[in-house]
Amino acid sequence: MIKLSDLHAAQSRLKGVTVRTQMIEFPLCAEDPRRLLLKPENQQPIGAFKLRGAYNKIASLSEAERQRGVISYSSGNHAQGVAYAARALNVKSVIVMPNNAPLIKREATAKLGAEIVLVGPGSDERKNKAEQLAAQHGYVIVPPYNDEKIIAGQGTIGLEILEDLPEVEAVLSPVGGGGLISGVAAAIKLTNPKIKVIGVEPELAADAQASLRQGKIVQFPAEQVSRTIADGLRTQSIGSINFEHIRAYVDDIITVTEDEIRQAMKYLSANPSTVAEPSGAVATAGFIFHAKELPQTKLNVAIISGGNIEPEMLKALRQ
Residue 311 binned pLDDT confidence (cut-offs 50, 70, 90)? confident
- Same domain membership, residue 289 and residue 301: yes
> What is the spatial distance between Cα 65 and Cα 134, in angstroms, rounded to a whole number?
12
> What is the spatial distance between Cα 147 and Cα 139, in angstroms, rounded to a whole number?
16
Contact 186, 173 (CB under 8 A): no
**Domain count within the chain:** 2
Among residues 141, 174, 204, the one where a domain terminates is 141
Q: Compute the average pLDDT of residues 11-26.
A: 98
What pLDDT was estimated at residue 236? Answer: 87
- Same domain membership, residue 170 and residue 45: yes
- Same domain membership, residue 58 and residue 40: no
- Same domain membership, residue 125 and residue 108: yes
pLDDT in tens, 207-231: 999 999 999 999 998 889 989 999 8
Q: Compute the average pLDDT of residues 145-159.
A: 98
> What is the spatial distance between Cα 311 and Cα 259, in angstroms, rounded to a whole number?
19
What pLDDT was estimated at residue 270? Answer: 94
Residue 143 binned pLDDT confidence (cut-offs 50, 70, 90)? very high
- Same domain membership, residue 159 and residue 78: no
Report helix, strand or coil for 92.
coil
- Same domain membership, residue 301 and residue 175: yes
Across the chain, what does the average pLDDT equal? 95
Strand order from edge to edge, sheet including 115-119: 115-119, 93-98, 70-73, 140-141
Q: Compute the average pLDDT of residues 223-244.
A: 92
- Same domain membership, residue 153 and residue 129: no
Q: Compute the average pLDDT of residues 124-152.
A: 96
Among residues 141, 173, 194, the one where a domain terminates is 141
What number of CA atoms fall less than 13 Å from residue 15's CA on the CB side? Answer: 6
Domain of residue 65, CATH code = 3.40.50.1100
- Same domain membership, residue 224 and residue 270: yes
pLDDT in tens, 27-76: 999 899 999 999 999 999 999 999 999 999 999 999 999 999 999 998 78
Q: Where are the alpha helices (DSSP H) in 89-206?
A: 103-111, 123-137, 148-164, 179-191
- Same domain membership, residue 242 and residue 180: yes
What number of CA atoms fall less than 13 Å from residue 157's CA on the CB side? Answer: 36
> What is the spatial distance between Cα 81 and Cα 154, in angstroms, rounded to a whole number?
12
Looking at per-residue pLDDT, the higher value among 276 and 105 belongs to 276
Amino acid at 68: R
Residue 247 binned pLDDT confidence (cut-offs 50, 70, 90)? very high
Torsional class of 249: left (φ above 0), alpha (ψ -120 to 50), beta (otherwise): alpha
Looking at per-residue pLDDT, the higher value among 315 and 111 belongs to 111
Report strand pairing: 24-25 vs 35-40. Answer: antiparallel
Among residues 88, 117, 141, the one where a domain terminates is 141
Contact 287, 301 (CB under 8 A): no
- Same domain membership, residue 132 and residue 168: no
pLDDT in tens, 283-293: 999 999 999 99
Range of the domain at 101: 51-141
Residue 156, CA distances (Å) to 101, 103, 196 in order: 27, 29, 17
Q: Is the pLDDT of residue 116 over 90?
A: yes
- Same domain membership, residue 68 and residue 154: no
- Same domain membership, residue 203 and residue 232: yes
Looking at per-residue pLDDT, the higher value among 185 and 235 belongs to 185
